[in-house]
Structure 1
Amino acid sequence: MIKEVLVVEGKMDVVAVNKAVEADCIITGGFGLQKQTVDNIRHAYKKRGIIIFTDPDTAGEAIRRWLIKRFPKAKHAFISIEEASAHNDIGVEQASPDSIKRALSRVRTPNWQVQNIFTAQDLLREGLSGGTESSHKRAKLGTMLGIGYANAKVFLQRLNTYGIKRDEFENALKILQKEVK
């Protein structure tokens, strides 16, 4: 049983999560969160902690940003677009139990004292921004590091706030380079 309460977008996300792990979930119902839902999330946040586990799409990221502002010490789980895509749909509900377990095994907690270990130059040097394959590389690396897919600016922010260490970043890059060859 996962100690924290998972915050997911829909009922089918709960079904998918329950096939993978034993966890309590709160459903946001999309971006228009009801006051009672926010109150339930707040209560879980204070009592057990929460893990934000939204879909890897624009709406899911918007919900995540909205929740981060209100629950800054929440933990985060990310699932890749590839693992969450099926039947012309993207979402946690499309992911396999193994993919969900993998995402939940790499939960990250933001450190609001930004570390500034990584710079935009790091992303450029490693081909994670400014190139034709940059988006694809960030998606793969984000999955490996457990910080999800993001544009270059958000990816850099996540590297510096989710506790990624330089050696962890470099080891993931080495693995990614072997996969590309």
Structure 2
Amino acid sequence: MKIQEVIVVEGRDDTAKLKQAVNADTIETNGSAVKTSVINQIRHAQTKRGVIIFTDPDYPGSRIRHIVANAVDGCKHAFLQQDDARAKNENGKSIGIEHASPAALRQALQNVYTLTEDEPVSITRDDLIAEGLIGTPEAARRRERLGALLHIGHTNGKQLLKRLSMFRISKHQFNQAMNRVRQEEDNERKTNSNT
């Protein structure tokens, strides 16, 4: 799979892992204190080929994504689910692109989004409350599953509404994904009650 855009990653281990999955060029931020020279490289890449930000699904990765997206307009975003990025050893504590399978990396890169804030918000905070995505004991698990289904990454309650809006997730897409979440929960309950 050939990727036209330059992919922004955190480090050389991420670059090495991506090269196993796709044919692509990368720019490495080398940590969460993204240097001005790296931002300038990313800006140049954005004007010439486009950029996909593909950082680890953890707090430092989210911070880097935010820094780059604020500095460089029009970047695309790819998200890897935490379960796909969890190390198979070390008790699964380490999370990063370097731990993901080539298939998971390709899947994430096939579902990129471009940030936008031009669209009116069609999904409201009341919708999130009604669907149990905030304010319930199951909210974190439901948000994680919704993020996986919509390919928008893991979010906390505060970030979810913003990310749904920025990635232009329609009410229809949201409802379809939530129907699937509920269906999976029902199937899980039935399985647990039969055991």
Normalised by the length of structure 1, the TM-score is 0.96
Residue in 1 that maps onto 2:127: 122
Matching of residues 74-89 of structure 1 within 5 Å: 74-86=75-87, 87=89, 88-89=93-94
CA deviation profile, 1:110-129 (whole Å, cap 9, x unmatched)? 12214211111111100111
Whether 1:106 and 2:111 are equivalent positions in the alignment is yes
Shift of 1:35: 3.0
In 2, the alpha carbon distance for the partners of 1:104 and 1:140 equals: 18
Q: Which structure 2 segments of 5+ residues have no match? A: 187-195
Provide closer, same or farther for how the CA distance between residues 151 and 114 of structure 1 changes in structure 2, counting only shifts above 3 A: farther
- TM superposition shift of 1:67: 0.9
Aligned residue type for 1:44: A
Question: Residue 6 of structure 2 contacts residue 49 of structure 2 at CA under 8 Å; is this kept in 1?
Answer: yes
Secondary structure at the counterpart of residue 89 of structure 1? coil
Match of 2:66 in 1: 65
- Give the number of the structure whose residues are more often helix, by fraction: 2
Would the aligned equivalents of 1:80 and 1:143 in 2 still touch at CA under 8 Å? yes
The offset of 1:165, in angstroms, is: 1.2
Q: Give the C-alpha shift of residue 76 in structure 1.
A: 0.4
Match of 1:133? 138
1:154 pairs, out of 151, 159, 172, with: 159
Alignment root-mean-square deviation, CA: 1.1
Partner of 2:12: 11
1:8 CA drift (Å):
0.4
Paired AA for residue 118 in structure 1: I
Say whether the 8 Å CA contact 2:39–2:72 is kept in structure 1: no
| Amino-acid identity (%) | 39
Match of 1:173 in 2: 178
Gaps of 5+ in 1: none
Specify the code of the residue in structure 2 equivalent to 1:151.
N
- In the TM superposition, what whole-angstrom CA distance separates every residue of 1:24-77 from its partner, at most 9, and x where no partner exists? 111000112233322211110111110000111010001111111111310001
Which residue pairs with 1:52 in the alignment? 53
- Tell whether the 8 Å contact from 1:9 to 1:30 is kept in structure 2 after alignment: yes
Contact 1:56 1:84 in 2 (8 A): yes
CA contact under 8 A between 1:115 and 1:161: conserved in structure 2? no
1:39 maps to 2:45: no
Matched residues in 2 for 1:12 and 1:37: separation? 17
Within 2, Cα distance between the matches of 1:164 and 1:83? 23
Tell me how far apart the structure 2 counterparts of residues 27 and 141 of structure 1 sit (CA, whole Å): 29
Contact 2:56 2:95 in 1 (8 A): yes
What count of residue pairs does the alignment treat as equivalent?
A: 181
Partners of 2:117 and 2:165 within 8 A in 1: no
What is the CA–CA distance in structure 2 between the aligned matches of 1:45 and 1:65, rounded to whole Å? 16
